[in-house]
């Protein structure tokens, strides 16, 4: 008992209990089984941002590490599966394409399927590039295949998939787990942040009723306001709105419909885009737009005119600046979640950035001395990650044929960061794409689907002529047929969820 009490001297205080706060608390309290005390301060009166329903496949790693079973997740958070994203009206009005998770087609020699598509799409009048990706074929049919080879009752496929879930239910679910693992939850509004006069380290948080909450490490999960990292420590913020022009959002849930779509739909509008996410109990919707081009009322009109069912609430407004903190870790404060930055909801990377921030913090967990080497490495990795994701998002706006509104004309002609410009130039000249470092989040398959989907003007790799035309076209036909045949045999998304939950 004595030894445990002594080791429990290191206190981790988390400020904020949204998705970021509870994801952090749930994982750290599960892994740090001795020597650490975890507290979380949150204010019910302030509440959480209440949006953030779509994820990417790596969420499965977090769930596994946090000890969360898939059936439990589906049951507690009204979750559905996500196989990818459909982009409507992004290339041009009336056009749609899918970015499916996972692979596309089958290589011939070292040449990837997209090269054959680029070479013959016009001359052979090929359909859509989606036809060569199993995820897309399933998604378009509202079907889902089993990722679980151990269950012979279900078809066996290795699929890359993520989830849509109700973010408030997910946070509540994680909270229950975290509290069972010993996290102390403190309800109250933080009104001031005390710092050590010499080091500048945060020493305690003062709550509205006068209570003081101390700690050794403080994790700022206070959301967009960044109470500790920005408010107390004054760490600045890089504004990327010249590349990511949307800075407002309105979210509204509506009644569910029969078809449970296993993909997020992103529909471009004149000055931004709208998301649609089918959960078991409702459909989540929201519009993301540029405040310089559209008023909140105009955006609300567009959003409400494009719902499947009756809205269940009034639209919830959110203002944000796309960008990131100069440093996510400063002194003894690590910012995780919206306090560290926010790009925008496109491609659903924000919860993923929370997850990788937690993993990174665990990998570089500080001694009490808070060594600069750990902090600098953390900040280097974070900066790389945000810039990497940023460039993928910018590509969606930049590569378009749309010029029908000032918003799209601006996006199409804007200058983009140098590494992205180089990537786009290489892909245009030869369909070639290289992942430069392992840490890049989106792999070649993702980039290729988005660039081709957005309508980039690209020539194929000249080496494609090593394969005779007839053989190349036969190869593409075989891929599409096998995919179609298999997709047709899979269970409906709705039935599949029922089977997984055991209903």
**Among the listed residues 80, 89, 222, 332, the single contact to ligand FAD using CB under 6 A:** 222
H/E segment holding residue 144: strand 143-144
What contacts 46, CB < 8 A, 6 or more positions away? 189
> Which span sits near ligand FAD by CB under 6 A: 209-217, 299-307, 335-343, 454-462?
335-343
Cβ proximity to ligand FAD: between 42 and 216 the closer is 42
The token duo for 49 is 């941002």
Q: Which of 178, 199, 187 is nearest to 68 (CA)?
A: 178
**Among the listed residues 137, 271, 278, 351, the single contact to ligand FAD using CB under 6 A:** 351
- Core vs surface per residue 55-74: b (16+ CB within 10 A) or e: bbbbbbebbebbebebeebb
> Which span sits near ligand FAD by CB under 6 A: 81-89, 294-302, 334-342, 360-368?
334-342
N-term to C-term CA, the chain:
45
DSSP characters over 350-378: HHHHHHHHHHHHHHTPPPTT--HHHHHHH
Rounded distance between C-alpha atoms, residue 100 and residue 162, angstroms = 11
Give the number of residues in contact with ligand FAD, rule: CB under 6 A. 39
Shortest Cβ 151–ligand FAD spacing (Å): 29
Shortest Cβ 112–ligand FAD spacing (Å): 28
Q: Quickly tell me which residue has 């559905």 as its tokens.
A: 80
Shortest Cβ 348–ligand FAD spacing (Å): 4
The CA angle 278-127-474, to the nearest 5 degrees, is 125
**Among the listed residues 105, 215, 223, 315, the single contact to ligand FAD using CB under 6 A:** 223
- Assess 357 for contact with ligand FAD (CB under 6 A): no
Beta pairing, strands 283-289 & 272-278: antiparallel
**Among the listed residues 12, 13, 14, 18, the single contact to ligand FAD using CB under 6 A:** 18
The alpha carbon of 420 is separated from its chain's Cα centroid by a whole number of angstroms, namely 20
Rounded distance between C-alpha atoms, residue 324 and residue 296, angstroms = 24
Q: Quickly tell me which residue has 């009104």 as its tokens.
A: 191
Cβ proximity to ligand FAD: between 84 and 286 the closer is 286
Phi then psi for 482, rounded to 5 degrees?
A: -65, -45
**Among the listed residues 38, 98, 162, 167, the single contact to ligand FAD using CB under 6 A:** 167
Q: Which of 279, 298, 278 is nearest to 287 (CA)?
A: 298
Rg (CA), the chain: 24
Shortest Cβ 194–ligand FAD spacing (Å): 14
Q: Which of residues 266-305 bind ligand FAD (CB under 6 A)?
A: 286
The alpha carbon of 1 is separated from its chain's Cα centroid by a whole number of angstroms, namely 42
Instruction: Tell me, yes or no, if 149 is annotated catalytic.
Output: no
Q: Which residues pair with 187 in a beta bridge?
A: 42
Q: Active site residue: 37, 82, 331, 398, which one?
A: 82
Shortest Cβ 147–ligand FAD spacing (Å): 21
- Assess 244 for contact with ligand FAD (CB under 6 A): no
From residue 26 to residue 65, the character string flagging contacts with ligand FAD as x (rule: CB under 6 A) and all else as - is ---------------xxx--xxxx-xxxxx----------
From residue 406 to residue 445, the character string flagging contacts with ligand FAD as x (rule: CB under 6 A) and all else as - is ----------------------------------------
> What is the three-class DSSP state of 108?
strand
Cβ proximity to ligand FAD: between 174 and 375 the closer is 174
Cβ proximity to ligand FAD: between 16 and 230 the closer is 16
Shortest Cβ 97–ligand FAD spacing (Å): 19
Q: Would you list which residues are annotated within the binding site?
A: 17-20, 82, 338, 347, 351
Any idea which residues carry the catalytic annotation? 82
Q: Would you list which residues are annotated within the binding site for 7-chloro-L-tryptophan?
A: 82
Binding site for ligand FAD (CB under 6 A): 16-21, 41-43, 46-49, 51-55, 167, 189-190, 221-223, 225, 227, 249, 251, 286, 318, 320, 337-339, 345, 348, 350-351, 354
């Amino acid at each position: 008992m004595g030894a445990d009490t002594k080791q429990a001297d290191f206190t981790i205080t988390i400020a904020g209990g949204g998705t970021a706060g509870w994801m952090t608390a749930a994982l750290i309290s599960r892994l740090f089984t001795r020597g650490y005390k975890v507290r979380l301060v949150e204010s019910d009166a302030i509440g959480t941002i209440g949006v953030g329903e779509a994820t990417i496949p790596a969420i499965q790693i977090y769930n596994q590490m946090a000890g969360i079973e898939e059936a439990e997740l589906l049951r507690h958070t009204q979750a559905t599966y996500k196989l990818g994203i459909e982009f409507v009206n992004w290339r041009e009005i009336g056009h749609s394409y899918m970015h499916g998770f996972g692979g596309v087609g089958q290589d011939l020699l070292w040449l990837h399927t997209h090269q054959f598509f680029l070479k013959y799409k016009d001359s052979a009048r090929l359909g859509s590039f989606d036809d060569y990706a199993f995820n897309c074929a399933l998604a378009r049919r509202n079907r889902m295949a089993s990722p679980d080879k151990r269950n012979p009752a279900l078809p066996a496929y290795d699929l890359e998939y993520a989830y849509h879930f109700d973010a408030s239910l997910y946070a509540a679910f994680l909270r229950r787990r975290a509290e069972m693992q010993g996290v102390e939850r403190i309800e109250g509004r933080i009104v001031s942040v005390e710092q050590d006069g010499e080091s500048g380290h945060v020493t305690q948080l003062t709550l509205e009723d006068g209570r003081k909450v101390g700690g050794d490490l403080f994790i700022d999960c206070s959301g967009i306001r960044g109470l500790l990292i920005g408010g107390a420590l004054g760490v600045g913020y890089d504004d990327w709105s010249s590349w990511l022009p949307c800075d407002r959002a309105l979210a509204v849930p509506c009644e569910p419909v029969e078809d449970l779509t296993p993909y997020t739909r992103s529909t471009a509008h004149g000055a931004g885009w709208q998301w649609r996410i089918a959960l078991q109990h409702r459909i989540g919707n929201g519009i993301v737009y540029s405040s310089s081009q559209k008023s909140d009322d105009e955006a609300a009109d567009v959003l409400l005119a494009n719902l499947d069912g009756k809205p269940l609430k009034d639209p919830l407004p959110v203002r944000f600046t796309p960008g990131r903190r100069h440093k996510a870790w400063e002194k003894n404060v690590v910012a995780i979640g919206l306090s560290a930055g926010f790009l925008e909801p496109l491609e659903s990377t924000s919860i993923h950035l929370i997850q990788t921030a937690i993993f990174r913090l665990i990998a570089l967990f500080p001694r009490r001395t808070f060594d600069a080497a750990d902090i600098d490495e953390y900040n280097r990795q974070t900066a790389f990650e945000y810039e990497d994701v940023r460039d993928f998002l910018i590509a969606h706006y930049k590569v378009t044929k749309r010029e029908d509104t000032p918003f799209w004309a601006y996006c199409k002609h804007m200058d983009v960061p140098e590494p992205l410009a180089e990537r786009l130039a290489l892909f245009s000249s030869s369909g070639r794409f290289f992942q430069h470092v392992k840490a890049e989040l989106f792999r070649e398959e993702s980039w290729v689907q988005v660039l081709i989907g957005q309508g980039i003007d690209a020539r194929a790799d000249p080496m494609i002529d090593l394969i005779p035309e007839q053989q190349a076209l036969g190869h593409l036909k075989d891929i599409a047929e096998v995919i179609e045949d298999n997709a047709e045999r899979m269970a409906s998304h709705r039935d599949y969820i029922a089977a997984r939950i055991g209903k």
